Amino acid sequence: MLKTTLITLVFAALLGSGCSTKTMTLEERLATLPADTIFRIEADTSFSEAWEIRLRQPVDHRNPDGPLFTQQIFLYYAGADRPVVVETEGYGARGGKNELASLLNANLIRIEHRYFEESRPDSAGWEYLTTWQAATDHHRIIELFKPVFSGRWATTGISKGGQTVMFHRYYYPDDVDVSVPYVAPLNFGPEDERMYTFLENVGTEECRDRVFSFQKLALEKFELLYPMFLDFAEERGWTFSRVGGPETAYEMTVLEYEFAFWQWGTIPCDSIPLEGSDEKIFLHLAQVGDPRYFADQGMAYFEPFFYQAMTEIGYYGYDFDKFGDLLRHARNTDMPEFIFSAPQGEQYVYDYEFGRKVDEFIKKKGDNFIFLYGEYDPWSATAADPGGNKSCLKIVREGGSHRTRINNLPDEQKEAVLVKLEEWMDTPVKR
Is the torsion defined by CA of 261, 264, 266, 269 positive or negative?
A: positive
Mark whether 16 and 44 lie in a shared domain.
yes
Mean pLDDT of the chain: 94
Q: Decide if pLDDT at 358 tops 50.
A: yes
**Residue at 198 is within a domain:** no
Q: Decide if pLDDT at 86 tops 50.
A: yes
**Residue at 29 is within a domain:** yes
Closest CA to 425 of 155, 61, 64: 155
**Residue at 348 is within a domain:** no
Pseudo-torsion of CA 306, 92, 260, 381, nearest 10°? 70
Choosing from 320, 341, 362, the residue where a domain stops is: 341
Tell me, what's the pLDDT at 116? 97
Mark whether 208 and 334 lie in a shared domain.
yes
Q: Tell me which amino acid residue 18 is.
A: G
**Residue at 195 is within a domain:** no
Which residues are registered as beta bridge partners of 154? 85, 178
Mark whether 171 and 217 lie in a shared domain.
no
> Would residue 343 be called left, alpha or beta, if left means φ above 0 and alpha means ψ between -120 and 50 degrees?
beta
Mark whether 249 and 384 lie in a shared domain.
no
**Residue at 262 is within a domain:** yes
Q: Name the pLDDT band for 123 (thresholds 50, 70, 90).
A: confident
Mark whether 164 and 107 lie in a shared domain.
yes
pLDDT in tens, 4-33: 333 333 333 334 444 445 799 999 999 999
Tell me, what's the pLDDT at 3? 36
Tell me, what's the pLDDT at 384? 98
Tell me, what's the pLDDT at 22? 76
Average pLDDT (63-81) is 97
Question: Is this model's pTM higher than 0.95 or not?
Answer: no
Mark whether 108 and 50 lie in a shared domain.
yes
Half-sphere exposure of 41 (CA within 13 A, CB side): 17
**Residue at 123 is within a domain:** yes
Range of the domain at 305: 203-341
Which CATH number goes with the domain that contains 14? Answer: 3.40.50.1820
Is residue 1 within 8 A of residue 21, CB to CB? The reply is: no
Q: How many domains does the chain have?
A: 2
Mark whether 9 and 154 lie in a shared domain.
yes
Q: Decide if pLDDT at 318 tops 60.
A: yes
Tell me, what's the pLDDT at 9? 36
- The beta-strand segments (E) located in 80-124 are 84-88, 107-111
Pseudo-torsion of CA 228, 280, 337, 203, nearest 10°? 180
Mark whether 106 and 170 lie in a shared domain.
yes
Mark whether 67 and 179 lie in a shared domain.
yes
* Pair type for strands 369-374 and 178-182: parallel
Q: Which residues contact 332 (CB under 8 A, 6 or more apart)?
A: 317, 318, 320, 321
Choosing from 341, 372, 404, the residue where a domain stops is: 341
Mark whether 123 and 228 lie in a shared domain.
no
Tell me, what's the pLDDT at 63? 97
**Residue at 252 is within a domain:** yes
Choosing from 292, 309, 341, the residue where a domain stops is: 341
Mark whether 207 and 85 lie in a shared domain.
no
SS (H, E, C) 32-85: HCCEEEEEEECCCCCCCEEEEEEEEEECCCCCCCCCEEEEEEEEEECCCCCCEE
**Residue at 173 is within a domain:** yes
Mark whether 282 and 159 lie in a shared domain.
no
